Amino acid sequence: MLKVYIISGCCGAGKSTLTKALVKEMPRTSLIHGDDVHAFFGTDLAAEWPERLKLTWQNILLLTENFLRNNINVIIDYVVEDELEQILSVVKNYDVEVRYIVMTADETTIRERVIQRGDDWLVERALFLRSKLTNCEENKPYLYDGSKDTIEAQVKVVKNFKPYSCSQ
């Protein structure tokens, strides 16, 4: 059975650190880093944000389906706001086990991490998304604050997360 990990969370929550470690632990696995897909637009950003986001997600879904069709596990690393149903509509056509995790951390940690990586301009957006994602009732069972855990412990926790039921 194939596995699809959907790792969401705001900027600075630890998604990329976790997914890079997780992909090393899993054979035949592709890591779809949403920021890289978003970068397909280049620097002129010809489209407005809603269109860029829509196209980014369409590409993530196409990549996911292509990997699954070729019997490759998938890890999606991107902020999932309202897109979970779209992802599930693609993966339901395959024999997959889905794990959905929303990474989080306290506000101070988020702020420090975002500033440390030089993205000061993203602090307010990160804190807004943190609040939105952690206060969403549907996300509550899938929240994980791994900020105090080692990366090895985070990988173990995530690999043992209860599979998401696509019939929810």
What is the model's pTM?
Answer: 0.93
Express each pLDDT in 98-154 by its tens digit: 999 999 999 999 999 999 999 999 999 999 999 999 999 999 999 999 999 999 999
State percent of the chain over pLDDT 70.
95
Q: Catalogue all structural domains in the chain, each as residue range(s) with its CATH number.
A: 2-159 (3.40.50.300)
Greater confidence (39 vs 15) lies with: 15
CA 143 to chain centroid: 12
Nearest to 13 by CA among 111, 100, 124: 111
| pLDDT at 43 (0 to 100) | 64
HSE at residue 77, side-chain half, CA atoms within 13 A, is: 21
The pLDDT value given to residue 77 = 98
* pLDDT score for 168: 46
Asked if 87 and 57 touch (Cβ cutoff 8 Å), the reply is no
